[in-house]
């Protein structure tokens, strides 16, 4: 076999330049082996041209989808570390406030008082200075606010509900009141349920009557149709009998 | 006059989606044909085709225009096909289309084709597909690019990142193997060696 495979392939595919192509044609005149190989390659090429892919369903298109909304950028970016530090400071502040609270229930009712009943306290300001704070005045103001809140809570409820913190209701009375409220609610629910059941029953009866009427009408139509067919069949048979009798008499 | 690939690419880079979709419309069938012939499966070829255009769209800004746009698409497709073959760890299968009947065959042929000619061509196509699936990937790819997509030797060499002589060798060896496979399958040519 001639070692001219690259030239052969170039010639088969028409990619030899004119001078190379001419030279190879001259070679073919003298080389039967290359002529046979050339024809075989051409035949194979003709055969593989029959291989076609199945008709696809494509019609692809690039589309722009909706851009997912980005959350609004927060002005205050708090890193987890700073967030934890802020939370810790808040807890400490609350703990300090709670530690100073004084709560007791006495003859005058529930009393909430901050423990800052010192007449004065000394704070060291951030700038290194010192200042006096009138803690007593702040405590009194806080007491007044708490009493106002208690009064407001006591006056917002309807007459049927009394402030549980009021001292003129005993436990038994509270329990009795709760039982009365439950009974009222149960009665109300029963009335609503009965009304709903009544509605359902009426709807069922109405639909049942309609269905029965439809069935009755259908049966009537069927009977009429069947009766007509029976009459036709009877008439036909009578005609046949008369025809047969006529034939016999002839 | 229809716009050239270069014009459509330039407009696409400017954000014109319609221009890119015109490129899709122009090249989706050749890309599908390439993918199908390389991997031999319809649905997977369809997926590769879709992925090719998605990747091309995303990477459009990086397309410098040194090669033809079609060559760039072919490269993306071949890479995806190669990934598919490695991922599936199997050789492509010459998958016969499901439910092919005479009516469909008639649609492929010319009006003067007889039924026998249509069937014979269809059977030949199946035999070729099967023979192609037996080829090594490099030879099959070279033949597909040359025979069905008309690329020159140099374009194939650039696409496959191999020397020109390697492309010619792969073509010659591939065609020789195909000839033998088809002969063994009973497909007769003018020279039944």
Q: CB–CB of B179 and A54 under 8 A? A: no
In this predicted structure, which of A26-40, A64-78, A169-183, B173-187 has the lowest mean pLDDT? A64-78
CA dihedral A224, A228, A231, A237 (to 10 degrees): -140
Please tell me whether residues B24 and B83 are part of one structural domain.
yes
The residue whose two tokens read 């001419």 is A22
Q: How far apart are CA A206 and CA A213, in angstroms?
A: 11
The whole-number pLDDT of residue A146 equals 81
Size of interface A-B (CB pairs under 8 A): 105
The residue whose two tokens read 């255009």 is B53
Tell me the average pLDDT across B5-10.
Answer: 92
| Domain of residue B155, CATH code | 1.10.10.10
What distance lies between CA B62 and its chain's CA centroid?
Answer: 24
Please tell me whether residues A105 and A163 are part of one structural domain.
yes
Please tell me whether residues B118 and B88 are part of one structural domain.
no
B166 or B90, higher pLDDT: B166
The whole-number pLDDT of residue A59 equals 73
8 Å CB contact between A149 and A136: no
Please tell me whether residues B65 and B112 are part of one structural domain.
no
pLDDT band (50, 70, 90) for residue A236? confident
What is the average pLDDT value for chain B, to the nearest integer? 85
Of B73, B95, B117, the position where a domain reaches its end is B95
8 Å CB contact between A8 and A41: yes
| Domain of residue B15, CATH code | 1.10.1740.10
Q: CB–CB of A50 and B132 under 8 A? A: no
C-beta neighbour count of A212 within 10 angstroms: 10
Please tell me whether residues B71 and B122 are part of one structural domain.
no
The whole-number pLDDT of residue A120 equals 40
What is the DSSP secondary-structure string of A83-121? HHHHHHHHHHHHHHHHHHEEEEEETTEEEEEES---S-E
The residue whose two tokens read 């009429």 is A224
Please check whether residue A146 lies inside any domain of the structure: yes
DSSP-derived 3-state class of residue A162: coil
DSSP-derived 3-state class of residue A130: strand
Structural domain count, chain B: 2
Give the N- to C-terminal CA distance of chain A in Å, as an integer. 107
CA dihedral B150, B156, B160, B162 (to 10 degrees): 160
8 Å CB contact between B129 and B40: yes
pLDDT at B158 over 90: yes
pLDDT at B35 over 60: yes
In this predicted structure, which of A152-156, A182-186, A236-240 has the lowest mean pLDDT? A152-156
Of A169, A201, A229, the position where a domain reaches its end is A169
pLDDT at B55 over 90: yes
From the list A217, A218, A198, the residue with the least C-alpha distance to A206 is A198
A14 or A119, higher pLDDT: A14
Please tell me whether residues A137 and A196 are part of one structural domain.
no
Q: Which domain holds residue A18?
A: 5-48
Structural domain count, chain A: 3
Please tell me whether residues B134 and B46 are part of one structural domain.
no
Tell me the average pLDDT across A165-183.
Answer: 79
Share of chain A above pLDDT 70, in %: 63
Please tell me whether residues A196 and A153 are part of one structural domain.
no
- Indicate the residue of A6, A43, A52 with minimum beta-carbon distance to B125: A52
Please tell me whether residues B116 and B180 are part of one structural domain.
yes
Tell me the average pLDDT across A12-37.
Answer: 94
Please tell me whether residues A152 and A107 are part of one structural domain.
yes
Q: Which domain holds residue B85?
A: 1-95
Tell me the average pLDDT across A165-173.
Answer: 70
Please check whether residue A61 lies inside any domain of the structure: no
Tell me the average pLDDT across B43-55.
Answer: 94
Residue A206: exposure state from Cβ atoms within 10 A (0-12, 13-18, ≥19): exposed
Instruction: For A41, name the nearest residue in chain B, comparing CA atoms only.
Output: B175
Q: CB–CB of B36 and A54 under 8 A? A: yes
pLDDT at B171 over 70: yes
Please tell me whether residues B178 and B133 are part of one structural domain.
yes
Please tell me whether residues A249 and A194 are part of one structural domain.
yes
Please check whether residue A134 lies inside any domain of the structure: yes
Please tell me whether residues B12 and B82 are part of one structural domain.
yes
pLDDT in tens, A83-129: 666 666 676 666 656 556 565 556 666 565 655 544 443 344 334 33
Of A169, A197, A223, the position where a domain reaches its end is A169
In this predicted structure, which of A123-127, B143-147, B177-181 has the lowest mean pLDDT? A123-127
pLDDT band (50, 70, 90) for residue A190? confident
Please check whether residue A174 lies inside any domain of the structure: no
A246 token code pair: 């006529």
Most confident of the following: A57-71, A181-195, B106-120? A181-195
A115 token code pair: 């423990």
Q: How far apart are CA A91 and CA A85, in angstroms?
A: 10
Tell me the average pLDDT across B35-50.
Answer: 93
Q: A33 — contact with chain B (CB < 8 Å)?
A: no
Of B52, B75, B95, the position where a domain reaches its end is B95
pLDDT band (50, 70, 90) for residue B93? low
Please tell me whether residues B59 and B125 are part of one structural domain.
no
Please tell me whether residues B85 and B33 are part of one structural domain.
yes
Please tell me whether residues B108 and B49 are part of one structural domain.
no
Q: How far apart are CA A240 and CA A247, in angstroms?
A: 11
Tell me the average pLDDT across A171-196.
Answer: 87
pLDDT at A197 over 70: yes
What is the DSSP secondary-structure string of A15-73? -S-HHHHHHHHHHHHH-HHHHHHHHHHHHHHHHHTT--PPPP-------PPPPPPPPPP
Please check whether residue A35 lies inside any domain of the structure: yes
Identify the residue among A1, A4, A37, A48 best suited for mutation to test binding to B, counting B beta carbons within 10 A and taking the highest.
A48
Please tell me whether residues B47 and B79 are part of one structural domain.
yes
8 Å CB contact between B173 and B135: no
Q: CB–CB of B175 and A45 under 8 A? A: yes
- Chain A positions touching B32 (Cβ under 8 A) are 53, 56, 58
Please check whether residue A117 lies inside any domain of the structure: yes
The whole-number pLDDT of residue B105 equals 55
Of B64, B95, B126, the position where a domain reaches its end is B95
In this predicted structure, which of A68-72, A158-162, B66-70, B77-81 has the lowest mean pLDDT? A158-162
Please check whether residue A222 lies inside any domain of the structure: yes
């Amino acid at each position: 076999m001639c070692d001219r495979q690259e030239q052969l392939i170039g010639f088969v595919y028409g990619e030899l330049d004119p001078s190379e192509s001419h030279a190879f044609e001259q070679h073919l005149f003298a080389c039967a082996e290359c002529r046979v190989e050339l024809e075989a390659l051409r035949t194979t090429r003709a055969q593989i041209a029959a291989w076609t892919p199945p008709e696809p369903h494509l019609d692809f298109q690039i589309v722009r989808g909706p851009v997912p909304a980005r959350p609004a950028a927060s002005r205050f970016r708090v890193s987890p570390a700073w967030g934890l530090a802020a939370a810790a400071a808040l807890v400490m502040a609350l703990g300090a406030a709670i530690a100073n609270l004084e709560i007791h229930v006495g003859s005058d009712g529930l009393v909430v008082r901050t423990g800052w009943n010192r007449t004065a306290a000394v704070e060291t300001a951030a700038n290194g200075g010192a200042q006096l704070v009138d803690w007593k005045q702040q405590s009194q103001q806080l007491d007044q606010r708490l009493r106002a809140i208690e009064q407001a809570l006591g006056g917002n409820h309807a007459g049927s509900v009394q402030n549980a913190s009021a001292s003129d209701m005993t436990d038994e009375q509270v329990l009795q009141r709760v039982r009365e409220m439950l009974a009222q609610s149960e009665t109300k629910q029963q009335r609503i349920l009965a009304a709903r059941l009544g509605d359902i029953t009426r709807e069922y009866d109405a639909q049942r009557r309609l269905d029965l009427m439809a069935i009755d009408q259908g049966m009537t139509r069927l009977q009429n149709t069947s009766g007509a067919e029976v009459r036709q069949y009877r008439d036909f048979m009578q005609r046949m009998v008369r025809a047969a009798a006529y034939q016999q008499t002839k | 006059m229809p716009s050239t690939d270069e014009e459509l690419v330039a407009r696409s880079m400017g954000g014109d989606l319609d221009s890119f979709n015109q490129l899709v419309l122009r090249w989706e069938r050749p890309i599908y044909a390439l993918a199908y012939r390389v991997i031999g499966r319809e649905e997977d070829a369809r997926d590769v085709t879709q992925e090719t255009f998605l990747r091309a769209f995303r990477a459009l800004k990086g397309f410098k225009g040194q090669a033809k746009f079609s060559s760039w698409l072919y490269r993306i497709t071949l890479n995806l096909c190669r990934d598919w073959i490695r991922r599936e760890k199997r050789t492509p299968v010459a998958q016969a289309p499901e439910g092919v009947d005479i009516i469909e065959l008639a649609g492929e042929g010319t009006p003067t084709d007889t039924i026998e000619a249509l069937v014979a061509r269809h059977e030949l196509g199946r035999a070729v597909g099967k023979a192609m699936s037996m080829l090594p990937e490099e030879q099959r790819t070279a033949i597909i690019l040359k025979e069905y997509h008309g690329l020159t030797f140099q374009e194939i060499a650039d696409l496959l990142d191999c020397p020109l002589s390697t492309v010619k060798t792969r073509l010659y060896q591939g065609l020789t193997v195909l000839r033998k496979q088809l002969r063994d399958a009973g497909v007769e040519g003018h020279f039944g060696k």
